[in-house]
Amino acid sequence: MDNELNISQDQNTEKLKEIPKWTRKYAQNRTLTIIVLMAMIMLFSMLFAGGMAFLLVLATAGFRKGNMVLVCVGIAASVAVLAAMLIFLIITLKKFGGKNRGMLDQMIDQRIYGKEGTVSVPVPKSSKKKMCLEIVTAVIFFICFFGTWNLAVKGYIAYKYLQPVSALYFVPYMFCGWYFFQSPRIGPIYLLHPMLFAIHAILIVAGVPMFFTTENFCIFSVCLPYIGYGFLAYVIGHIYNRYALKKLKGISHFQGEAADGD
Amino acid sequence: MEIDRIIHEPARLRIMMILSGLEQADFNFLLTTLSLTRGNLSRHMEKLESAAYLKVKKSFKGKIPNTSYQLTQKGSKSLAQYWENLDSVRQLGNSR
């Protein structure tokens, strides 16, 4: 009887030791915030790109028909949209950039997970050196991105191989980005994103037709997998977050009311 | 070998363990995770705070007051020591 009691106590103790692990997993996978942020950025970009495209098409059509009023209206409206976008960016950076970096995430996080309370995992220490490295890697990334796209449009890279070639810099960039800048704020589930992107590239090389073949849409061969797999990784992260919370509550919940502070 | 009585209480042990996995957590998170009453949890937090195991940060989220807790270095060390001592006691019990 005593032996059975000892074994049960040992098991309980071992379970208690798992609390920090599940707490951290829960905190690292509050990824619905990132999904909302992604959706907001996408919606904003689509609205901006769509508006600009419509106005430029309008101006071009006016020019072809010799309707100068339409051309002027189109150009003036494009400039106004561009100016509005710049003002919006300046206001956003002023409010949520610099010292307030991460405040927007916190606000969304509070809206989504507010009922469960607020938790935070250690944020990677920011330094000037780290910030410079972050900027330099981002610049290199964009040079690679637009360079590859340009080479594909000029015919140096077949449209079929645009995504696999992009994977050569996308995957290391995402791995390094996570390891140097995000970990331990975001858990290893984030690594699903580059892994799925790499698998997509391998499948294309193996002959699976998962790409766009026209010039106008070739960029989507890269953008759609990037956004889609990112979305998928974060959805999986959120599901794992629910599981971690259930596990955590299972270990730390009290059946009855615990004794008070004395 | 002495077991820390402040940490040894089940609710406080759970609070310390939750905080050891995080940078900080607020009162609401602990409340929902542990399913204690507000008064009960407050008492435990006061005990841990008075032992300097926790650092308390009071702020406002909009117009609502928010209290966050963070494990201090002393708290982390005491928790590690507690487990060490408890494991020794358990080993001693098992060997008999």
Domain borders along chain B are: 5-90
pLDDT of residue B46: 96
Cβ count near B6 (within 10 Å):
18
A232 HSE (CA, 13 A, CB side): 13
Q: B13: which DSSP letter? A: H
Residues in chain A: 262
Same domain, A91 and A28: yes
Rounded to the nearest angstrom, the minimum Cα separation between B55 and chain A is 15
Same domain, A146 and A234: yes
Give the total number of structural domains in chain A. 2
Tens-place pLDDT, residues B36-81 = 999 999 999 999 999 999 999 998 877 888 899 999 999 999 999 9
Tens-place pLDDT, residues A136-164 = 888 998 899 889 988 988 889 888 899 99
Window A:10-29, CB contacts with B under 8 Å: 10, 13, 16-17, 19-24, 27
pLDDT of residue A260: 52
- Cross-chain CB nearest to A119 (options B17, B22, B35): B22
CATH architecture of B5-90: Orthogonal Bundle (1.10)
For an interface test with B, give the residue of A15, A115, A118, A241 to mutate (most B CBs within 10 A). A118
pLDDT of residue A32: 92
| A122 contacts in chain B (CB < 8 Å) | 23
Rounded to the nearest angstrom, the minimum Cα separation between B74 and chain A is 17
Window B:3-62, CB contacts with A under 8 Å: 9-11, 13-14, 17-18, 20-37, 39-40, 43-44, 46-47, 61
Question: What is the per-residue DSSP string for chain A?
Answer: -HHHHHHHHHHHHHHHTTHHHHHHHHHHT-THHHHHHHHHHHHHHHHHHHHHHHHHHHHHHHHHHT-HHHHHHHHHHHHHHHHHHHHHHHHHHHHHSGGGTTHHHHHHHHHHHGGG--EEPPPPPP-HHHHHHHHHHHHHHHHHHHHHHHHHHTTSS-GGGHHHHHHHHHHHHHHHIIIIIITTTS-GGGGHHHHHHHHHHHHHHTT---S--STTTTTHHHHHHHHHHHHHHHHHHHHHHHHHHHHHHHHH--SSPPP---
Q: Is A116 on the interface with B (CB under 8 A)?
A: yes
The torsion region of residue A118 among left (phi > 0), alpha (psi -120 to 50) and beta comes to beta
Same domain, A225 and A157: yes
Same domain, A108 and A196: no
Residue A258 domain boundaries? 127-262
Question: Token pair of A13, please?
Answer: 């103790």
Same domain, A93 and A164: no
For an interface test with A, give the residue of B14, B31, B70 to mutate (most A CBs within 10 A). B14
Q: Is A5 on the interface with B (CB under 8 A)?
A: no
Q: What mean pLDDT value characterizes chain B?
A: 92
Cβ count near A219 (within 10 Å):
19
Amino acid identity of residue A135, one-letter, is I
Same domain, A132 and A257: yes
pLDDT at B34 over 80: yes
* Phi, psi angle pair for A214, to nearest 5°: -100, 155
**ipTM exceeds 0.85, yes or no:** yes
CA pair distance A226, B95, nearest whole angstrom = 57
Same domain, A83 and A197: no
Cβ count near B48 (within 10 Å):
25
CA pair distance A20, B14, nearest whole angstrom = 9
Cα–Cα distance list, A26 to A215, A249, B29 (Å): 43, 11, 11
Q: Which of A63, A88, A118 is the last residue of a domain?
A: A118
CB burial readout A37-66, b (16+ within 10 A) else e: eeeeeeeeeeeeeebeeebeebbeebeeee
Same domain, A113 and A131: no
Q: Which of A88, A118, A148 is the last residue of a domain?
A: A118
pLDDT of residue A9: 66
Contact B10 A254 (CB under 8 A): yes
Nearest residue in A to B38, CA atom: A260
Q: pLDDT band for position B13 (50/70/90)?
A: very high
| Residues of chain A scoring pLDDT < 50 | 259
Nearest residue in A to B40, CA atom: A260
Contacts of B65 (CB under 8 A, 6+ apart): B58, B59
| B30 contacts in chain A (CB < 8 Å) | 117
**pTM of the full structure:** 0.83
Rounded to the nearest angstrom, the minimum Cα separation between B2 and chain A is 18
Cβ count near A92 (within 10 Å):
12
Q: Is A254 on the interface with B (CB under 8 A)?
A: yes
Q: Is A244 on the interface with B (CB under 8 A)?
A: no
pLDDT of residue B56: 95
| B43 contacts in chain A (CB < 8 Å) | 260-262
Q: Which of A61, A85, A118 is the last residue of a domain?
A: A118
Window A:47-106, CB contacts with B under 8 Å: none
3-state secondary structure of B25: strand
Same domain, A155 and A261: yes
Question: Token pair of A184, please?
Answer: 């331990």
Indicate the helix (H) or strand (E) that contains A30: none
* Phi, psi angle pair for A242, to nearest 5°: -65, -40
More confident residue, B1 or B73: B73
Contact A119 B24 (CB under 8 A): yes
* Phi, psi angle pair for A176, to nearest 5°: -65, -40
pLDDT of residue A6: 60
pLDDT of residue A86: 92
Same domain, A108 and A135: no
